[in-house]
Amino acid sequence: MEKKVNVLVIFGGRSGEYEVSLESARSVIANLDPSKYEIIQLGISQEGTWMVGQKTISVLETMLSGDLSSLMEAVLLPSPNGGKLFSLKNSLHGQIITLISEVDVIFPVLHGTFGEDGAIQGFLELVDLPYVGAGVLGSAVGMDKGIFKNIMRASKIPVVDGLLVTRSEIQKNIDSVIARVMDLADFPLFVKPANLGSSVGVSKCQSRADLVEGLLEAARYDRRILVERGVEAREIEVSILGNDEPIASMPGEILPSREFYSYEAKYLDGTSGLIIPAPLSEETTNLARELAIRAYRVCDCAGLARVDFLLDKVTEKLFLNEINTIPGFTTISMYPKLWEVSGLNYSALLDRLISLAFERKADGNKTEHRYRRES
C-alpha cells in the first residue's frame, strides 16, 4: 500500500481570529481523506504555546477553564531536520525533547496576525518543509491592507479611496487625524485595522462620534489603521487556486444579515446569505475573475486566496477590496463553497492544495543558495 502523507494542521494562534481558526481547522481535518493522510493536530494557544494531544481543537475551545493538562507542549526546530515534530517535557534535569511524528507537509489554518502575515511562513521556510498557501512576501502584502492598496493602485487595479494612520497619531492628536480623514471623503466611512481579517475591529462610521469610536476600536488590534470612503456596494468574492498558473472560480455574492459583513454577521448570527454564482453580467463576472488573478500574481501568492470586491450599486464600478491568503474554511465559508459550485468538492480541493504545496517546494528547491564561481 502507498504510504500515507503526514499532514501537520496548525491552528489557533495569537490573533483576534482565534475562534475562526479553530472552526476552519475542524472542517479541514474532517474533510482530509483518512485513506491518504495521517493527520497531526498542532494547536497554538492564545498565549502562543504550541501544543499537541488528543482532541486538541476541543481542548483549546474550552481552554477558558485553564486546564491544558491533556496536551503536550510541542516544537518544530527552525532548521532543515527532515521534517520532525517533537514534544517538550519538563524534568528534574531540564526539558526532554521526544520525537512525536515525521511531517511531510504543513497545512497552516492560522487566520490573522502571526499566521496569515508572513510570520509563520518565514519560520516554515527555515524548517524547509512544503506548506499550503502563499510564502512570506505574498502573505505579508496580502495582510497589510494599506500596503496592499498601494500596490493595487500602482498596478492600475481599482480600489476605494483611503487613508492610513497610526495608533500613535491617534493617541497624540486624534483631532488632527479626524481633520485629515474629513478631507478624504464625507460620511459614511469605514475604519479597520490594517493587519487583521474576519472584519474584526471594523466600524462603519456615520458621524464624528462614530469616527472617534471606530479609530479607538481599530487601534486596539493594530498600530496601523485604514480609513476608507464608504461605498454603497454589493459584496462579491472570487476564489483563486494555483501557483504560477492560477485559476479563478465563479464569483459569489454575500448578503450580510447586518449593515455590513461584520464579524457577527459572518460567524455569530448564521443568517448572512450566499448567492453562488453571483447574479452579475458576463462583463462584470469576467472582470472580477481577471482582476482577482492579476492581484494574486502581483502579490506573488501561491496555493490559494479569496479576493473580495465591492460593486458600487449606483455606478456599477468594481473595486478590489482585499485578498485573503488563508481564507476561512468553516462550513459556511465562501472559499470552499465557490469551488464546490465550480466542480471541485471540499476533499478534492484539499488534495489539490496539498499537491500545490509539494509543487511549490519542488520549484523552490531549484533555487541555488550558494554562489558558485566559474573556474
- pLDDT tens across 276-309, in order? 999 999 999 999 999 999 999 999 999 999 999 9
Q: Using an 8 Å Cβ cutoff, are 86 and 96 in contact?
A: no
CATH architecture of 162-229: 2-Layer Sandwich (3.30)
| Beta strand spans in 37-154 (E) | 37-44, 50-53, 71-76, 84-91, 94-102, 105-109
In this prediction, residue 198 has a pLDDT band, given cuts at 50, 70 and 90, of low
Q: Name the least confident of 41-50, 90-99, 132-141, 311-320.
A: 90-99
Cα-flanking dihedrals φ and ψ of residue 132, to 5°?
A: -75, 135
Average pLDDT score, the chain: 92
How high is the pLDDT of residue 260?
Answer: 53
**Rounded to whole angstroms, how far apart are CA atoms 63 and 72?**
14
- pLDDT tens across 252-262, in order? 999 987 665 44
Residue 46 corresponds to which cell in the numbers above? 492564545
Residue 303 or residue 199, greater confidence: 303
**Rounded to whole angstroms, how far apart are CA atoms 334 and 250?**
11
In the chain, ranges of CATH 3.30.470.20 domains: 142-158+232-362
Long-range pairs of 268-275 with CB within 8 A, sequence gap ≥ 24: 270/332, 274/332, 274/334, 274/337
Query: With 60 as the cut, is the pLDDT of residue 347 above it?
Result: yes
Query: With 90 as the cut, is the pLDDT of residue 163 above it?
Result: yes
How high is the pLDDT of residue 62?
Answer: 78
**Alpha helix locations (H) across 105-173?**
119-127, 136-143, 145-154, 167-172
- From first CA to last CA, the distance across the chain in angstroms is 48
Query: With 50 as the cut, is the pLDDT of residue 369 above it?
Result: yes
In this prediction, residue 334 has a pLDDT band, given cuts at 50, 70 and 90, of very high
Q: Using an 8 Å Cβ cutoff, are 222 and 16 in contact?
A: no
In the chain, ranges of CATH 3.40.50.20 domains: 5-131
Q: Map residue 83 onto helix, strand or coil.
A: coil
Q: What is the DSSP letter of 188?
A: P
CA angle 218, 219, 225 (to 5 degrees): 70
Average pLDDT over residues 366-371: 89
**What pTM does this model have?**
0.91
Out of 3.40.50.20, 3.60.150.10, 3.30.530.20, 3.10.450.50, the CATH code matching 5-131 is 3.40.50.20
How high is the pLDDT of residue 55?
Answer: 84
Q: Using an 8 Å Cβ cutoff, are 33 and 351 in contact?
A: yes
Fold of 142-158+232-362: D-amino Acid Aminotransferase; Chain A, domain 1 (3.30.470)
Q: Using an 8 Å Cβ cutoff, are 260 and 277 in contact?
A: no
**Rounded to whole angstroms, how far apart are CA atoms 326 and 232?**
27
In this prediction, residue 50 has a pLDDT band, given cuts at 50, 70 and 90, of very high
- pLDDT tens across 226-238, in order? 999 999 999 999 9
- 317: closest CA among 347, 350, 359, 283? 283
Query: With 50 as the cut, is the pLDDT of residue 74 above it?
Result: yes
Average pLDDT over residues 135-151: 96
How high is the pLDDT of residue 261?
Answer: 47
Query: With 60 as the cut, is the pLDDT of residue 267 above it?
Result: no
pLDDT > 90 fraction of the chain, expressed in percent and rounded: 79
